[in-house]
Amino acid sequence: MQQNAPFLESIYLVIECSKWEVDIAIWIIASGFRPGIVRSLASLSDLTDCAWKGTTTVGLQSSNKETFLRFLCYRIPPVSSPCGQDYSAIARLSPFHRWLSLWRKILLITSCYTNAERCCNIIDASLDSKLIKIVRIQSKEGTKRIQIPPTSSVGHFLNEVRNSLNLSTVGWSLYKDRQKNHRIANSRKTLTSIGIKHGDLLLLHEEPAACSSMDPDECMDTTDSAAAAVNNTTTLFGNSEVLQDEVDILLSKEDGLIHRKRHPQLCRHGPMGKCIHCSPLEPFDEEYLSKLEPPIKHLSFHSYIRKLRSGVDKGKFTMLENVVCTITPGCKEHPPWPNGICTKCQPNAITLNRQSYRHIDYVMFQNSKIMENFLNYWRSCGCQRLGYLYGYYDPHKDVPLGIKTVVVAIYEPPQKNTKNSIQLLEDAQADTVDAVAKILGLRKVGWIVTDLLPKDVHKGTVQHTRGVDMHLMSAEECIMAAAFQNAHPNPCKYARDKYFGSKFVTVIVSGDCNDSIDIHGYQVSNQCMSLVRDNCLVPTRDDPTLAYVRNSTNIQYVPDVFYKMKDEYNNEKLALGRPLPVEYLLIDVPNGFPKNMKFLLDKLDDQFPIENRDNIGQPQNFNVLAKYAEQYMDGKFLEMASDFHFLTYLVKTEIIKLEDLQPLATAVKQESALEAIHFKRSKAWQTVEQLMKANGPPQDNLPKAATSWSCQHCTFINARNDEACEMCNLPRS
């Protein structure tokens, strides 16, 4: 073996380079080999320093199984040469670092090489500077792998851990051991310098102490990480810049688990134990939700979010995206539409799916008087009516992480009504009504419309015009509902666009199968919202159950919209949405009234007239205001002021300014009689009283709601003081 020494004193780096036509076939034994049985090594000793040579075969024999690998071999001057003392040449002359680890194994096996150990240390340093480290982080949620260059600083590594695990800037620490003796403090040192190697397992400990109680040098947050957290906010873990609704903030802090009681037969443990039959379930457990009575067909929106984040990656790579139905503008690769289009700017085809979740899980009217006052218009004239729902959002306890809409008042905008149609007019006071609702803690949460046709005026029944066999919502109503939902988007920190879907609800009053008045709540899907937003959907003329997707024109490109249907052989197939059944766009929302009704803005039986009802003899004017206030001025001032239509009239007519009405709104909201008395003594209300006195007592010839009378035969409310009913023509008495 002495003759092979010159070769063994040279370093051959194994690299990969397809452009050089030089092969050396090396038989590498998996279990190692003995230098004494190496053959044909002397032929390589004649290779010139730093030169490429032709093909040479080196055989390393062993009794064990042999593995064949092919590489390119590059020769570096031997250690004995002057330039051989520069061991860093290994790193400089070997850009293909992934083969260094294999050559390191060959050097360790070749024990006769005198400087093998020293050279291996150099190769280790080269590997540390070239390779990506994978460091494992163990937390209470599992093990997470972090990929990071070994030359990165500790501070940068801690920021990567915080972003990957969705941690706060304070309140957690990393340790090298389970005894928590070696804490990793924030510094500018590299990971290699503090002894963190590839494959190391670090322990994450979440500490209750805040960063303010820690040493500033040891705080996990850095200036760079804080800036990065602000800039990189559009992840599923939340965009902190989005101002969400209060109910969303509240539900995001709850665990949402479905807690079950101990099963008397299946559970065999003590009262403090848990098993698979009584352990808590996730809020998106479909099997449990389907067995409830009544079953829950749609997940709540927050349960849907938890389902997306339930995977191993915690939803890191999942984003909520709004459907886009328009061409992406600004494409430079072709002329604009209709002269050109490409796959980069062309919107994808849409396949309609039944939405598995809903943003609102229940619509609750605060009391029955709200609905009765709204229906009195139809009872008075037989014409259909539309109104806007004002209320607030609350958690719905009957659905895991559910949200319910609580309706407190109905505002009726200007409109033209007939027995079969409604035409909305421009409302110049819409912003004023919203402002009054805001100081009362309310907001516009939906819209309501009637579809009532009398069937038997003697029995007071109505026609059954909607149902499963007919239609639930017409295509025109679906498009209008989508337009309302687009006008009131739902702020969402989990969406790239900062909004996703809508909480705006649709309530339709129609006849049921028993010919009685029934109330139904709906929403349209996010796909329907996108189609209407981009002007892709229109109603059909002859069938209310069908909508139609527009055809592309020279002005607008419309993507294809498909839906699933079954053919005559009961096979499922895709059909083009021309026409399109609107049932694919609907989401049913239950509704009802509470057992214990609350009358926040309906405390009096004789209420202030509702706006825009002049055509049925219920006007709003100053004389009506004076008469209304005179009845309750002394003992029931709070009850008098607890009327949404009364408060909006004061501001719309500028009798009282909005900022002056704030104390009274607070008194009404808190139901505080003392605060109401304080407002009664204020200058704002004293001015109103002086105006009422100056105008004198209300005139008797003004149209009053009291002139109307209800027919004892058909219950129709007649506006005029006639001797016979306008609806059934029967005598008044």
Query: pLDDT tens digits for 453-509?
Result: 988 878 888 999 888 788 889 999 999 999 999 999 999 988 888 899 999 999 999
CB 471 within 8 A of CB 694: no
pLDDT confidence tier of residue 127, bands split at 50, 70 and 90: very low
Length of the chain: 733
Q: What integer pLDDT is reported at residue 723 of this predicted model?
A: 64
Confidence class for position 587, pLDDT limits 50, 70, 90: very high
pLDDT of residue 696: 57
Q: Is the pLDDT of residue 179 over 70?
A: yes
Cα of 130 vs its chain's centroid, Å: 41
pLDDT exceeds cutoff 80 at 542: yes
Q: How many Å apart are CA 596 and CA 594, to the nearest integer?
A: 5
Does residue 716 or residue 624 have the better pLDDT?
Answer: 624
CA 280 – CA 294 distance, rounded (Å): 20
Tokens of 191: 């990971």
Domain range annotation of the chain: 2-130, 133-231, 357-535+583-592, 614-702
Closest C-alpha to 88, from 193, 195, 11: 11
Residue 714 pLDDT class (50, 70, 90 cuts): confident
- Map residue 240 onto helix, strand or coil: coil
- What pLDDT shows up at residue 631? 81
Percent of the chain with pLDDT over 70: 73
pLDDT at 87 over 80: no
Q: How confident is the model at residue 722, as a pLDDT?
A: 65
DSSP 453-496: -EEETTTTEE----STTS-SS-HHHHHHHHHHHHHSEEE-TTBT
Q: Which of 323-337, 390-404, 691-705 has the highest mean pLDDT?
A: 390-404
Give the class (CATH, top level) of 357-535+583-592.
Answer: alpha beta
CB atoms within 10 A of CB 167: 17
22-72 pLDDT, tens digit per residue, is 333 333 333 333 333 333 333 333 333 333 333 333 333 333 333 333 333
Specify the pLDDT at position 313.
64
Domains 133-231 and 357-535+583-592 share a fold: no
Q: How far apart are CA 365 and CA 407, in angstroms?
A: 5
The DSSP element (H or E) to which 61 belongs, if any, is none
Give the three-state DSSP class for 373: helix
Average pLDDT over every residue of 518-523: 95
pLDDT at 375 over 80: yes
CA torsion through residues 149, 150, 153, 157, sign: positive
CA 307/CA 292 separation, integer angstroms: 19
Number of helical H runs and strand E runs in the chain: 19, 33
Torsion sign (Cα): 185, 188, 189, 191: positive
Could you give the CA distance from residue 678 to residue 331 in angstroms, rounded to a whole number?
64
Q: What is the DSSP letter of 47?
A: P
pLDDT computed for residue 231 by the predictor? 37
Residues with Cβ < 8 Å from 530, sequence gap 6 or more?
322, 323, 324, 325
Say how far apart CA 120 and CA 101 lie, in whole Å.
Answer: 9
- Expressed in percent and rounded to 5, the helix, strand and coil fractions of the chain are 30, 25, 50
Token pair 């909520």 is found at: 320
Cα–Cα distance, 719 to 706 (Å, whole number): 9
Helix H segments across 291-395?
301-308, 368-381
Rounded Cα distance between 289 and 307, Å, is: 14
CB-based contact 620:611 (threshold 8 Å):
yes
Please report the pLDDT score of residue 539 as a whole number.
93
Least-confidence region, from 215-224, 245-254, 311-320, 692-701 = 215-224
- Residue 477 is which amino acid? E
What CATH number labels 133-231?
A: 3.10.20.90
Q: Check residues 596 and 87 and name the one with the higher pLDDT.
A: 596
Taking alpha carbons only, the member of 92, 78, 15 closest to residue 44 is: 78
**Mean pLDDT value across residues 398-415:** 95
Q: Cβ(351)–Cβ(562) under 8 Å?
A: yes
* pLDDT single digits (tens) 260-294: 888 888 888 888 888 888 888 888 888 888 888 88
Q: How confident is the model at residue 727 (pLDDT cuts 50, 70, 90)?
A: confident
pLDDT of residue 716: 76
Which phi and psi angles does 360 have, rounded to 5°? -125, 130
Beta strands in 78-200 (DSSP E): 133-139, 142-148, 172-175
Residue tagged 């209008």 (tokens): 480
Residue entry with tokens 């010919």: 515
10 Å Cβ neighbour count for 345?
Answer: 19
- CB-based contacts of 496, cutoff 8 Å, min separation 6: 234, 319, 320, 321
State yes or no: pLDDT of 295 exceeds 90: no
Helix (H, G, I), strand (E, B) or coil at 395: strand
Under a CB-based contact definition with an 8 Å cutoff, are residues 133 and 196 in contact?
Answer: yes
Distance CA 15, CA 572 (A): 56
Beta strands at 572-576 and 299-300: parallel, antiparallel or unpaired: unpaired
Model confidence at 304, pLDDT cuts 50, 70, 90, reads: very high
Token pair, residue 484, equals: 């309302």
- Asked if pLDDT for residue 138 goes beyond 70, the answer is yes
Alpha-carbon separation of residue 681 from 133, 611, 663, 674, 677 (angstroms): 74, 27, 12, 11, 7
The count of C-alpha atoms lying within 13 angstroms of the C-alpha of 303, restricted to the half-sphere facing its C-beta, is 29
DSSP-based three-state secondary structure for 3: helix
Q: Average pLDDT over the chain, rounded to whole? A: 76
Structural contact between residues 300 and 358, judged by C-beta atoms closer than 8 angstroms: yes
Cα atoms in the 13 Å half-sphere on the side-chain side of 451: 18
Query: What span, in angstroms and rounded, lies between the C-alpha atoms of 614 and 705?
Result: 10
Using alpha carbons only, give the angle 390, 396, 397 rounded to the nearest 5 degrees: 155
Residue pLDDT, tens place only, 205-256 = 876 543 333 333 333 333 333 333 333 434 445 566 788 899 999 998 888 8
Q: Would you say the C-alpha torsion 158, 164, 170, 174 has a positive or negative sign?
A: negative
Report the candidate in 535, 542, 532, 546 with the shortest Cα–Cα distance to residue 583: 546
Residue 435 structure tokens: 């402002």
Q: Is the dihedral of CA 570, 571, 577, 581 positive or negative?
A: positive
| Residues facing 444 on adjacent strands | 390
d(CA 716, CA 219): 74
Calculate helix-pair angle for 673-680, 683-694, nearest 10 degrees.
Answer: 60
Check pLDDT > 80 for residue 611.
Answer: yes
> What pLDDT score was predicted for residue 317?
61
